[in-house]
Structure formats: C-alpha cells, structure tokens
Structure 1
C-alpha cells in the first residue's frame, strides 16, 4: 500500500497501469472533477485509450449530469466503447480498480494536493471491487437515465424552473413570465410534483441530476 500526493505524482507512478489494462478498468466518481491539475484528466484519458477501451466501465453520481458539457463528454466516451452508468445515490470519493489487481482510492481535495492510496492487497482490492459491482448493478445506463422515465417538462415549466434557479422572488418571477402570482405558484407546485421534490431546493437538485436545467 502506497500513499501518493497530488495528481502529477499519481500519473507518473501509475502511467504503466493506465496504459496497459489487460482485462478491465473500472472507475467510480462523483463527477468529472476528479483531477485538480489542468490537463491531468486528459493525460489519464490518453493513457487509458492507448491501451484500448475494452472492459472500461465508469460509474458516476447523478450530479455529473448537472451541465451540458459533462453530458456531452459522457456521450463521447460512450461512443468510444466505454460503458457508463449513473448511480442511484451520490458517490463520496473517486475509486479506480485495474484488472482486479490494483485499486486507487482518492482522498479529499486539499490545498496542498489531493492524497491517493494505491494498493495491491488482494483483500482490499476485492472488497472495493465488490462494492463497485453492487453499486453498478443498481445503477442506470446513461442513455436510459437521460431518455427513460425522466419527467417531460414543457417550455413553460422549464421557464419556471429557470426562474426558481435564478433566486428571484415569486412576485418578480411571475411578472417576468407574464403570469399572475397565483398561476406562477401553481406551476411551481406542479413542477415540484413532477420532479418528486419536497422543496424548491430539492427541485433544483433533481433537475440538475436529470439534466433538465439546460
């Protein structure tokens, strides 16, 4: 078990692992902000692609769908053969397992650099892999998540959603949308129901998870 400080040291010490995947590369992450140093994610991606994308699976929290750029990136890597699923719940930290022989566990972001743990201990690697598989089995394929049973919002509902996200008062939002205050609040209530949200804040979070904020 080795502790590594920072993205650059991690890539330098694991380059041979990323570029020589034999059977399987799996990754679980909250979002696409895995690497703090500019260019580190692209470097890791290039190393991985140099070994082919066969057996590559990536599992993300719903938060990864909060903006169109992230969604487009996920569609792109899927087009290259990577399997992508969205977890049912948030994933707290990034984890990588290579060929079921190596595991990389990421710590919290820190000003002095993120800390990573690289392990080859079979028991620990096996446990991490089993946790990934359990989350993977309950996750939803990206395409189904984006186009399956998610709420269908009409143009007016999307305007109301954007108004909620702007932080405007109900009175101002209703006025800008050309609605009466009563109608606006009714549309907000309908929107919360459609998104299965218990509050306006939850509605915004849920919309971000489903990629409905665009």
Structure 2
C-alpha cells in the first residue's frame, strides 16, 4: 500500500528487501527507538554492526525492559563497544521508529494480538520525518545514559520491601500478593506505593523491571 510520501511494508523481510539500501546509505545520523529487541533485528543491523564511520552519530533508545530480555545486556554492551550512544527511557517507548539522516523515517506498527505479520511505514515526506525526529529528541532528552543508568544506586531495602519487590517482579495481583505475604490488601498497596517512590518508578510495570534488576532471577525463586 502506498500513499503520498509513505510506503507500507509487510514484515521485516520485505522492509529489508525494499528499504535496506536506504539504511546502508546512512551518512550522518542513525536514530532508533525500540521496545522489543527483535523489532529492528535485521533492518537496523547496518547501523550498528560496525563501528560508526567518522562523523556518524548512532543513537539507540530502549525501555528498561531491555535488561530482563534474553540477550539484552549483551546487546547493550556490543552497541556501546561499537561507539553507539545508548540511553534508557523511564518507561517502555510508546512507538518504535528509525530515522536516517533526517530524510527517512520507519515506523513500526503495534504488534497484532492475533500474532499477524507486523507492518512498517517508510516515510520520506520531509515534514513528517522532521516530526518523528523531534519526537525522538524529546524522548532522548528525558532518558538516562546507559552507563549512568547502570550506576544508579538502589535504595536500601529491608526484608519486607524485598518480599513486595518479588511479588511485583513475578506479576502477582495485589490480592494474591497480600495473601501470600500475610498482610492486608491496604497495607500491601501502601508498601507498593512507597517502593515506587523509592525506585523512581512511574508505573508498576517499571517497578517490576527495577525489582528484577535488584533481585536478579535467583531472588524470585521463593515467591
């Protein structure tokens, strides 16, 4: 399907086949925001597979979930070693996109709940590309540099706090968690609210991701 300045492609294989040369032609700037490590696994490879050429800026923005995704920490290490700038957003990004040299943007459609083929919109209309780039810059400015994110100290936690964190990390409902911990529902929710503040988490999902960072997989086994 094609509209003025926009081409919609079905599946990443078609994206690479029809737009791969556009990625390979990057000269000045390669911007990418991803919530799923697999979203741009092939299409973005040309922008990160090798060390950036002199003058080429490569920026990758991920949500905090990258730290608990299989292979996520290793990917971050490879990107940093290749010279890419990497930042972590406070919450999973609402949209996934690539911007190349300010002349091309690729937008990934939300994944289908039914598991259908994902579509990608290739945009070359200058005004639309500029808008996508501006949104990326806004998200980039509110994100944390990878090295700084990893250095952030976690607040001191007592045994009760860690028990609540384990419940958050495993995704228990409030009712189930409070019953397992032997506290009232009101008390449990008060503790969750307090921990979210301490962890600087804007949502329970983000608090759960932070909990996994603190506890590690081994810290979840007794819940």
- TM norm structure 2: 0.71
Quote how far apart the aligned CAs of 1:46 are. 4.0
- TM norm structure 1: 0.74
Measure, in 1, the Cα distance between the counterparts of 2:66 and 2:107. 19
Residue 91 of structure 1: aligned partner: 93
Residue 10 of structure 2: aligned partner: 5
Give unmatched runs, 5+ long, in structure 2: 1-5, 217-223
Residue 126 of structure 1: aligned partner: 130
Measure, in 2, the Cα distance between the counterparts of 1:9 and 1:118. 11
Aligned pair in 2 of structure 1 residues 187, 171: CA closer, same or farther (>3 Å)?
closer
Residue 150 of structure 2: aligned partner: 146
- 1:18–1:51: 8 Å Cα contact kept in structure 2? no
Between the two proteins, the alignment pairs up a number of residues equal to 195
Pairwise mapping of residues 1-214 of structure 1 onto structure 2 (< 5 A)?
Answer: 1-34=6-39, 41=41, 43-49=42-48, 52-53=51-52, 54-67=56-69, 69-110=71-112, 111-153=115-157, 157-158=161-162, 161-163=165-167, 165-166=169-170, 167=172, 170=178, 172-173=180-181, 181=182, 192-196=193-197, 205-209=206-210, 211-214=213-216
Quote how far apart the aligned CAs of 1:4 are. 0.8
Aligned pair in 2 of structure 1 residues 169, 126: CA closer, same or farther (>3 Å)?
closer
RMSD: 3.1
Measure, in 1, the Cα distance between the counterparts of 2:205 and 2:122. 37
